[in-house]
Amino acid sequence: MPEDLYEEVIEVDERVVIQRSDCQMTSSRNWRTEKTSTDENVLISRELDIQRTKMDLISLKEKGIQSLAVILLHSYK
C-alpha cells in the first residue's frame, strides 16, 4: 500500500450555498450574497476566518512544511 503524500490537513472553514428561488432554507436567513465567476449568486452561510487561516498556515511553516495543495469544494463556481 502506498504511503500518504501529506503530513497535515487544515480545513478552511467557510461555507456557501447556491442561491435558488425554490430554496426555503435561505429565505429566513440574513446571509451575505456574492457573485461567482459564472455569474451566479451564492449566499455566505459561514464567513472565512482569515486570522485563523493565517495562523494555521504560519504553524505549518514553523513545522518546516514548505509546500501545500489546496482543494476547493465547488471550485467550478
- Tell me the backbone φ, ψ of residue 35, rounded to 5 degrees: -95, 140
* Residue 34, beta-bridge partner list: 42
The pLDDT score that the predictor gives to residue 19 is: 80
**Phi, psi (rounded to 5 degrees) for 54:** -60, -45
59-66: average pLDDT = 94
The structure's pTM equals: 0.67
Residue that the C-alpha cell 494555521 belongs to: 56
Tens-place pLDDT, residues 29-43: 778 888 888 888 888
Helix, strand, or coil here: 33? strand
Closest C-alpha to 45, from 74, 72, 18: 18
